[in-house]
Structure 1
Amino acid sequence: MAKRNFAKQALSRWMQGEGPEFDVVLSSRVRLARNLRGTPFPMLANPAQSKAVMEQLLGVAENGRLNGLGALDLIRLSDLTELEKLVLVEKHLISPNLANESRNGALILSQNEDISIMVNEEDHLRIQCMRSGFQIEDAWKTASLIDDVFEEQIDYAFDEKYGYLTSCPTNVGTGIRASVMMHLPALVLTGQINRILSAVTQVGLAVRGLYGEGSEATGNLFQVSNQVTLGASEEEIIENLHQVARQMIEHERAARKKLMEESQLRIEDRVRRSYGILSHAAIIDSKEAAQRLSDVRLGLHLGILPQVDQKTLNELMVSTQPGFLQQTFGEALHPEQRDMTRADLIRSRLEISS
């Protein structure tokens, strides 16, 4: 069925690694949180109420109001297996919260997967737009257009003083959460990362791991997003994130230059050791794989491993995750089987790409 297209390939278009500043910024995302006026928020809604919300929001997509976005898949999470939900989480198309609380949850997904609209997550509606590389303004423009379409059809919960009303107080106001996913290995290796992240939090931004709040920054991947949604316009929030992210890009590139000037032999050894392990390991867990892939990615952008393909590295970032591995091989795998399968997959993909 069409709704299972997302499980057939690891890479969404926005993960191709082709966007601006792709050597540091993997992706940009804008998410808007909205709720329906006069309807309990999802955590308080009864099944009949949440089902009515789902049908109403899916109806906006079904009646052609979103035709400008191209073909859309309308997915009711109750139709999916637990493994398929995990794949959606690993591809950043839904949140872990929606995967775990999927009663009357749904997803409106564009075919290239750069638009992901969640229904009955923490809020009734979460509009999410993703772009490859550093394109936060473009992601915001698309999210705003989609928001306008829904607002023409639905009466949002909105207060003249406080703005859009949301389940979590930290989203009240604009309801916007803008973020960039950044690869910062040189700042970590040079010991500058804590100072940089401390400065970032002081200007109203938050730093999280690969899968957002509560997740670990594995593979030197950091998600930088706005914390403030009240008291500033969407444009001001986007501009603040853009300016801070631009400075972080410059700091990371300066740190990479410093590594090559002061520790070239050591960094080359680290990169080549990680490439060697990935190319020959018979067993590897997801945490080690993420770190080794981070080293290889750094080596690619420093010119140490020019034969490695950026797209392959992005693909492996998703395809080596537990859910996607098991979905690909069509069966549940215990941890050691996953580690063996992951190693096999990495070896074969690196052999093809080099």
Structure 2
Amino acid sequence: MPNLRFTEKPLSDWMQKGGEYSDVVISSRVRIARNLIHHPFPILANMEQAQDVRNQLTEVLSNQALQDLGPFEPLLLDELEDVDRQVLMEKHLISPNLLNDSKSGAVLLTDDESVSIMVNEEDHLRIQCLYPGFQLQEAWERATQIDDAFEEVVDFAFDDRRGYLTSCPTNVGTGLRVSVMLHLPALAIMNQVGRVLSAVSQVGLAVRGLYGEGSEAIGNIFQISNQITLGLAEEEIIDNLHSVVLQLIEYEQHARSRLLSESKLRVTDRIMRSYGILSYSTMMDSKEAFQRISDVRLGVDLGLIDKASVTQMNELTIMTQPGFLQKTFGVKMGSGESDMYRAQLIRNTLSNVNVQD
């Protein structure tokens, strides 16, 4: 019987810790893609071949060097209920691809959920390290240690000229994706976010939504990541993203200062209206919930709403999503019912939030 503690609570332990610039940067992520040599890549593998890869990679957990970086617990996706797999995706512990398209998929998780190692996603192995705030270097150091521990035991597909080989050509080379999740409400309110993010795209970085490629940017949350993995060293990739994100943080903080100095009454009204709607609505769809939560989170960061509620805002971004709603209330629900239960959950959570006079 799989251990379901990973799907019982909305916040991973790592999300409850601090991090540099955590008022703007929600999280930093490093993901390394690898494939085993002499095995068909997941897109071409049949079920038996995928099962063989899963067995080989989960057996690596017995390696002491890897356990010293964990410990890790394996979850086999075909042993989980649909709702539990959905919750893992909503918590960013697995990808939409692993949820929907994998054969013999699995995820290896640390207790605090800061490391999730996906097996048989688009590639055989995807090592993902998540840190709160702006901690790209820390995430990279841990991810590369885990990569080294696997490479002691298994042979990766590698070409002397091209580097590590992956299912998608855009990951060939280092196989490295680094990304940060940013909350940019002030730039959005001042109608500057489109211009700023367009400039980011022009310097070779990708701008995506909450769940990466193909997902919508809602609640003023944007994921910024590298696009180039071939021809650059890992340190160059990380440094490039680091310098651009520092500029985005500066732009957002400047926009927040301008809101307080030039439009404090107007922005306070917006935040309190959203707080009131969240506190008393009887129905709330997902998109509106994310936007209202973004406003209230901005109120927390501007000191208009009690600082203790920042954890509750983080919780609400997970708890208001379809899988976790079903998990919380124990019922399958249509869209109308989801909107009702979502509003109920938000009302209950915000009943403990303090608003500054």
* TM-score, normalised via structure 2 length: 0.97
Distance 1:293 1:213 in 2: 23
Q: How does 1:104-183 map to 2 (within 5 A)?
A: 104-183=104-183
Distance 2:48 2:63 in 1: 22
**Aligned-partner SS, 1:134:** coil
Q: How does 1:296-307 map to 2 (within 5 A)?
A: 296-306=296-306
Give 1:231's aligned amino acid. Answer: G
State the match for 2:225 in structure 1: 225
Greater CA deviation, 300-309 or 33-42?
300-309
Tell me by how many angstroms 1:326 deviates. Answer: 0.2
Give 1:175's aligned amino acid. Answer: G
Distance 1:69 1:6 in 2: 19
Tell me by how many angstroms 1:338 deviates. Answer: 1.3
State the match for 2:349 in structure 1: 349
**Aligned-partner SS, 1:140:** helix
State the match for 1:36 in structure 2: 36
Tell me by how many angstroms 1:39 deviates. Answer: 1.0
Give 1:114's aligned amino acid. Answer: S
**Aligned-partner SS, 2:68:** helix
State the match for 1:59 in structure 2: 59
Tell me by how many angstroms 1:15 deviates. Answer: 2.0
Give 2:153's aligned amino acid. Answer: Q
Kindly indicate whether residue 263 of structure 2 is the aligned counterpart of residue 263 of structure 1.
yes
Tell me by how many angstroms 1:105 deviates. Answer: 0.6
State the match for 1:246 in structure 2: 246
Could you tell me whether the CA contact under 8 Å between 2:42 and 2:103 is conserved in 1? no
Tell me by how many angstroms 1:313 deviates. Answer: 0.5
Cα deviation, 1:288-316, whole Å, max 9, x if unaligned, reads 11000000001111122235511110011
Tell me by how many angstroms 1:64 deviates. Answer: 3.7
Could you tell me whether the CA contact under 8 Å between 2:2 and 2:79 is conserved in 1? no
- Show structure 2 runs of 5+ residues with no match: none
Distance 1:2 1:115 in 2: 18
Give 2:137's aligned amino acid. Answer: E
State the match for 1:215 in structure 2: 215
Give 1:104's aligned amino acid. Answer: S
Give 1:186's aligned amino acid. Answer: A
Tell me by how many angstroms 1:62 deviates. Answer: 3.3
Greater CA deviation, 61-70 or 107-116?
61-70
**Aligned-partner SS, 1:174:** coil
State the match for 1:281 in structure 2: 281
Could you tell me whether the CA contact under 8 Å between 1:77 and 1:103 is conserved in 2? no
Distance 2:72 2:353 in 1: 32
Could you tell me whether the CA contact under 8 Å between 2:32 and 2:175 is conserved in 1? yes
Greater CA deviation, 171-180 or 60-69?
60-69
Tell me by how many angstroms 1:17 deviates. Answer: 5.6
Tell me by how many angstroms 1:66 deviates. Answer: 1.6
Distance 1:338 1:140 in 2: 38
Distance 2:101 2:80 in 1: 13
Give 1:238's aligned amino acid. Answer: I
State the match for 2:202 in structure 1: 202
Kindly indicate whether residue 329 of structure 2 is the aligned counterpart of residue 329 of structure 1.
yes
Distance 1:72 1:150 in 2: 13
Kindly indicate whether residue 291 of structure 2 is the aligned counterpart of residue 291 of structure 1.
yes
State the match for 2:47 in structure 1: 47
Aligned length: 354
Could you tell me whether the CA contact under 8 Å between 1:17 and 1:311 is conserved in 2? no
- Show structure 1 runs of 5+ residues with no match: none
Cα deviation, 1:106-125, whole Å, max 9, x if unaligned, reads 11011110000000000000
Tell me by how many angstroms 1:285 deviates. Answer: 0.8
**Aligned-partner SS, 2:103:** coil
State the match for 2:91 in structure 1: 91
Could you tell me whether the CA contact under 8 Å between 2:31 and 2:126 is conserved in 1? yes
> How much identity, in percent, do the aligned residues show?
57
How large is the RMSD of aligned CA atoms in angstroms?
Answer: 1.2
Could you tell me whether the CA contact under 8 Å between 1:17 and 1:26 is conserved in 2? no
Give 1:86's aligned amino acid. Answer: Q
**59 and 283 in structure 1: CA distance in 2 versus 1, 3 angstrom threshold:** same
**Aligned-partner SS, 2:352:** helix
Distance 1:344 1:352 in 2: 14
State the match for 1:21 in structure 2: 21
